[in-house]
């Protein structure tokens, strides 16, 4: 998929809801007096999401996973690349307006993602207000109550302010807001990372229920691999702005092939003392390099034990190593 040449005109596949081709997002960063360096947050990433599926996106901080989510929703203007939604390219103002209604986002921080001066009803109704999706006041209120019921919030609390709720309830408010414009596609940007374990499970279950009931498609971004594994059909692994591996959730966690994914999986702490004691950990040496100084060739090369000369020269492209299992490594 990523190997497909950009020169060839892209023809959208109706099987997929969202198709991303050669997406690049660079940010100019002032590194000194009158000097700017390009921060390559996302560098040449391509992937597809089927209708009704959940694609998990994992990676460590600074790998560009949040940037991908925001760039897809056009919160950042892509430096290069194409985004196709339901067979239409998102490039004009009209296509963007329609896309804004059909694609929504759930944010990580349940505190900063809700305006502290607005009531729950007003927060949930913001998409309805912006897109004028109601006929009269009564209609608007009915929609708000419907949405609050959908995410398991007590409708009596509609006039309360967000700061009066606990983290889990606030995340429910955020999800209700994302659902208000009846979207088909939702980017979940670390929606449970800030929540306690017992509350995490509530929100994960709710996201799964909503997907089943409303036929939603998710791009689920998180750093917690066990959570991503639980909710996703397929998982993509990112490292320093590049996609390293993409496979079905079970395949990727059981049989990872990319050296980075292998060490990432072995580093996940398993909540079972006996398994944990038996676990063979591959502890990576060194730190993730700064995204301002991405190494030449394969970005993982300096920490990789299997690195060869070829790795220093060219950046490996994604290729299919098993049916539906893609990886970007020279040594496979």
- In the window 222-281, what residues touch another protein (CB under 8 A)? 223, 225-227, 229-230, 250, 253, 263-264, 266-276, 281
Show contacts with another protein in window 298-327 (CB under 8 A): none
Out of 64, 168, 241, 316, name the contact with another protein by CB under 8 A.
Answer: 168
d(CA 241, CA 67): 9
Q: Is 88 in the site for another protein (CB under 8 A)?
A: no
Give the nearer residue to another protein in terms of CB position, either 169 or 217: 169
- Are the beta carbons of 83 and 17 closer than 8 angstroms? no
Going across the sheet that includes 16-32, the strands are 35-50, 16-32, 80-85, 88-89
User: Smallest distance from the beta carbon of 104 to another protein, in angstroms?
Assistant: 7
Give the nearer residue to another protein in terms of CB position, either 30 or 61: 61
DSSP H or E stretch at residue 238 = strand 234-239
Q: Is 115 in the site for another protein (CB under 8 A)?
A: yes
Bridge partner residues of 230 (DSSP) = none
165 is written with which tokens? Answer: 């709720």
Q: What SS3 state is found at 197?
A: helix
- Are the beta carbons of 203 and 174 closer than 8 angstroms? no
Residue position matching structure tokens 């700061």? 163
User: Smallest distance from the beta carbon of 196 to another protein, in angstroms?
Assistant: 4
Q: Where are the beta strands (DSSP E) in 76-145?
A: 80-85, 88-89, 103-106
Give the nearer residue to another protein in terms of CB position, either 11 or 61: 61
User: Smallest distance from the beta carbon of 263 to another protein, in angstroms?
Assistant: 6
Out of 8, 35, 77, 117, name the contact with another protein by CB under 8 A.
Answer: 117
User: Smallest distance from the beta carbon of 7 to another protein, in angstroms?
Assistant: 33
Q: Is 140 in the site for another protein (CB under 8 A)?
A: no
């Amino acid at each position: 998929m990523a190997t497909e040449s950009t020169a060839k005109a892209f023809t959208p596949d109706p099987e997929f809801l969202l198709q991303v081709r050669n997406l690049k997002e660079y940010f100019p960063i002032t590194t000194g007096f009158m000097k700017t360096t390009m921060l390559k947050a996302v560098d040449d990433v391509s992937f597809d999401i089927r209708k009704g599926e959940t694609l998990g996106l994992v990676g460590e901080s600074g790998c560009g996973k949040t940037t991908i989510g925001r760039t897809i929703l056009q919160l950042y203007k892509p430096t290069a690349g194409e985004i196709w939604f339901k067979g239409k390219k998102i490039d004009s103002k009209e296509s963007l307006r329609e896309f804004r209604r059909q694609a929504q986002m759930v944010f990580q921080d349940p505190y900063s993602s809700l305006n502290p001066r607005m009531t729950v009803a007003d927060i949930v109704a913001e998409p309805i207000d912006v897109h004028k999706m109601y006929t009269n006041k009564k209609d608007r209120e009915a929609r708000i109550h419907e949405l609050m019921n959908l995410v398991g919030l007590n409708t009596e609390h509609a006039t309360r302010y967000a700061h009066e709720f606990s983290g889990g309830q606030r995340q429910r408010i955020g999800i209700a807001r994302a659902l208000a414009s009846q979207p088909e596609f939702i980017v979940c940007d670390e929606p449970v990372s800030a929540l306690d374990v017992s509350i995490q499970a509530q929100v994960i279950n709710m996201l799964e229920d909503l997907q089943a009931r409303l036929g939603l498609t998710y791009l689920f971004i998180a750093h917690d691999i066990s959570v991503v594994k639980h909710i996703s059909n397929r998982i993509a692994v990112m490292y320093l702005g590049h996609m390293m591996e993409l496979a079905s959730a079970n395949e990727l966690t059981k049989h990872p092939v990319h050296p980075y994914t292998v060490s990432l999986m072995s580093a996940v702490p398993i909540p079972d003392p006996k398994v944990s004691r038996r676990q063979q950990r591959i502890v990576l040496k060194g730190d993730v390099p700064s995204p301002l100084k991405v190494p030449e060739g394969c970005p993982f090369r300096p920490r990789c034990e299997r690195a060869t000369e070829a790795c220093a020269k060219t950046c490996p492209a994604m290729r299919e190593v098993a049916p539906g299992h893609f990886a970007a490594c020279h040594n496979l």
